[in-house]
């Protein structure tokens, strides 16, 4: 059973499960867990791990259109290294400051591998929250930012590892590997779109973050809103790092639409509200398609778009 199947099983007893965060009164709350083997490639610094772990939860707050206020995290490892722990907390503090939230502590534990769990909370504004279930045919399909940065980061982590493995045989210096790993860490440290989420609250009819990838996010939104989507492949904004690493348009679309872990916002916006939303989003807002009827399904340039992306437990 993968994560989506598990959520469907729990839905009967947990009716609020399924959106990016739960709403309790005027507060949204969300939690995430990341593991070294599945979420932090070799070369990921503890600073990046602290930033990324907390950013994942702050991104869920953003997807609800709420104002992030605070976050905590659990840090678990086989043993504690003071420098590693300090760098993790520094990353967590810095990403909170980047979205005007506060890192307020957490918990420590031992585990067989480095593992972290983060929780973030936010305030519901006067505009209310944005769930996944309000899109209507004819709405504009939009995304924030640029896509594929995590896929590019993984390629750079892998290239840095391969360079290290072959350095002796080929006589390579460590500089190239160091640059690849440094760039990969930089790409892994995304800024949660909290400010954009606040702009989209009251304008977007449905919204979620793209932790599972653009294609999978569209299928999830389609299921929640009982609609279809018509995606324009060429309209998806591509991160420059992907342009530098992809060999052809097919690979570029694969990295931007199916890899996942970009943590951008995917939303539906009524046409009359689109121009003002686009002008106000600090991270950039791009129209990439249109909300369609349920019977039309989820398509890209008229062809069926596979429901493929990142899935926990798959």
Count the alpha carbons within 13 Å of 206 in the hemisphere toward its beta carbon. 28
Determine if residue 196 is labeled as part of a ligand binding site.
Answer: no
The tokens for 55 are: 């950013």
* Backbone phi and psi for residue 85, each to the nearest 5 degrees, phi listed first: -65, -40
Q: Is there a binding annotation on residue 103?
A: no
109 is in an annotated binding site: no
Q: Is 5 annotated as a binding residue?
A: no
- The reply to whether 65 sits in an annotated binding site is no
Tell me if 159 is assigned to a ligand binding site.
Answer: no
Closest CA to 224 of 30, 7, 65, 27: 7
Note the Cα 257 to chain centre separation in Å: 12
CA distance 113 to 307: 31
**Cα separation, 66 vs 19, whole angstroms:** 13
**Has 60 been labeled as part of a binding site?**
yes
> Binding residue per annotation — 27?
no
How many C-beta atoms surround the C-beta of residue 246 within 10 A? 20
Per the annotation, does 20 bind a ligand? yes
287 annotated ligand binder: no
Q: What is the C-alpha separation between 53 and 78, in angstroms, rounded?
A: 18
On whether 209 is known to bind a ligand per the annotation, the reply is yes
Query: 30 among the known binding-site residues?
Result: yes
Question: If you write DSSP's letter for every residue of 196-242 in order, what string do you get?
Answer: HHHHHTTT-SEEEE-TT-HHHHHHHHHHHHT-EEEE-GGGSPBPHHH
Residue set of the binding site for Mg(2+): 20, 30-32, 60, 107, 209, 212
Residue list for the binding site for substrate: 39, 261, 310
User: Binding site residues, as ranges?
Assistant: 20, 30-32, 39, 60, 106-107, 132, 209, 211-212, 261, 310
Which residues does the annotation place in the binding site for ATP?
106-107, 132, 211
């Amino acid at each position: 059973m993968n994560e989506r199947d598990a959520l469907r099983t729990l839905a009967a007893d947990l009716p609020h499960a399924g959106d990016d965060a739960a709403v309790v009164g005027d507060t949204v709350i969300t939690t995430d867990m990341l593991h070294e083997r599945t979420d932090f490639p070799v070369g990921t610094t503890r600073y990046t791990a602290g930033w990324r772990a907390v950013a994942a939860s702050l991104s869920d707050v953003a997807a609800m259109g709420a104002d992030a206020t605070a976050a905590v995290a659990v840090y678990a490892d086989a043993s504690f290294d003071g420098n590693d722990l300090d760098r993790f907390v520094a990353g967590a503090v810095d990403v909170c400051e980047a979205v005007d939230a506060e890192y307020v502590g957490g918990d420590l534990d031992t585990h067989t591998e480095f593992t972290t769990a983060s929780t973030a909370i936010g305030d519901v504004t006067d505009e209310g929250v944005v769930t996944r279930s309000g899109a209507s045919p004819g709405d504009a399909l939009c995304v924030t930012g640029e896509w594929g940065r995590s896929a590019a980061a993984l390629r750079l982590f892998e290239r840095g590892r391969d360079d290290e493995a072959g350095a002796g045989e080929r006589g390579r210096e460590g500089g190239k590997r160091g640059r690849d790993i440094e760039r990969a860490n930089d790409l892994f440290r995304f800024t949660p779109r909290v400010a954009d989420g606040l702009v989209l609250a009251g304008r977007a009819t449905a919204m979620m973050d793209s932790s599972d990838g653009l294609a999978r996010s569209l299928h999830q939104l389609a299921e929640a809103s009982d609609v279809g989507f018509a995606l324009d492949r060429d309209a998806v904004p591509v991160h420059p790092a992907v342009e530098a690493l992809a060999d052809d348009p097919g690979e570029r679309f694969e990295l931007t639409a199916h890899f996942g872990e970009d943590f951008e916002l995917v939303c539906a916006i009524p046409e009359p509200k689109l121009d003002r939303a686009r002008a106000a989003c600090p991270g950039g807002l791009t129209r990439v398609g249109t909300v369609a009827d349920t019977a039309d399904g989820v398509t890209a340039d008229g062809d069926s778009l596979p429901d493929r992306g990142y899935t926990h437990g798959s």
